[in-house]
Amino acid sequence: MSNVRIATVSRAPLQTRWVHLTDRLRNHRSATVRGWPLFIGQSTGPLGHLRFRSYHSAMTAFAPDAPTDTPADGRGPTALSLPHPVKPKLRGWLHLGMFPAVLVAGLVLTALADSTRGRVACGIFALTACLLFGVSALYHRGDWSPRMDGVLRRLDHANIFLIIAGTYTPLTMLLLPGAKGQWLLWGIWAAAAAGIIFRVFWVGAPRWLYTPCYIAMGWAAVFYLPDFMRTGGIAVLVLVIVGGVLYSAGGVIYGIKRPNPSPRWFGFHEVFHSFTLAAFIAHYVGISLVAYQHG
């Protein structure tokens, strides 16, 4: 009887430690969804010296002999697990519904451009838009393995840089002829390439780091707005600015995760997607005017 009592007492600190460390892992900012690496490349914080390849290895490293069976007293299982975040039921539906519309609209825009230069520029814009909405819908609507989830997440984030560069392409090629347009075009695509590499190789980067990169790149042409108005007109200028403001507002919502009206159905991410839809529509109309007038 004394042996049993000693075993019970010695087990309690282990369970207490297990609960404490599980809570620490749940709240750790570097944890990612669906079992991707928890602490890759991080060295800050109380657990920063650890390098775990998966949720399971992190758990077993702290409590390799933690109980996993239901105790004999029938009080329920003692093993703890981290619950997956609940994905809102409408996650991805906005972009899924938008994809076929973007595909058709992009084909129409490209076909109606008058020149080869205009068709190439509008075709690039349409292609990047299709990639953005198509991959986003695929990523957010599917139930993927951890490996595939990571691949699609990287593509989803990289496509944000692509749509920014793709939107700039017809504006610079058709409204900014000469060296000025070429410098802006090359600079934007170089920034997009750097951003894609950044997101592909550091998909776990904190939001406060990569979200401002999207916004800053989107407003890189702010000094060219007078040229856009001079060659494209006031309507084009207004549509370009409105689209930029909507994209930026969506980026802020994504970064701070607010507002979050209904985490079960329509959360902050869906609000962010709504802003991207509205921003794309504004830019599409503006680029259509440019293509019909100058393409």
Nearest CA among 285, 36, 277, 278 for reference residue 137: 277
Gap between the Cα atoms of 157 and 90, Å rounded: 19
* Residue 177, strand partner residues: none
Any known ligand binding at 49?
no
> What is the predicted pLDDT for the residue at 85?
67
Q: What is the pTM of this model?
A: 0.71
> Residue 45 has what DSSP assignment?
S
> What is the predicted pLDDT for the residue at 106?
97
Q: What is the pLDDT along the chain (295 residues), one digit of tens a residue?
A: 444 444 444 444 444 444 454 455 455 444 444 444 433 344 444 444 444 444 444 443 443 333 444 344 444 444 444 455 678 999 999 999 999 999 999 999 999 998 999 999 999 999 999 999 999 999 999 999 999 999 999 999 999 999 999 999 999 999 997 888 999 999 999 999 999 999 999 989 999 999 999 999 999 989 999 999 999 999 999 999 999 999 999 999 999 999 999 999 999 999 999 999 999 999 999 999 999 887 6
> What is the predicted pLDDT for the residue at 20?
52
Any known ligand binding at 269?
yes
> What is the predicted pLDDT for the residue at 87?
84
Gap between the Cα atoms of 65 and 262, Å rounded: 39
Domains with residue ranges and CATH for the chain: 2-62 (no CATH), 93-294 (1.20.1070.10)
Any known ligand binding at 140?
yes
Please check whether residue 160 is in contact with residue 132, taking contact to mean a CB–CB distance below 8 angstroms. Answer: yes
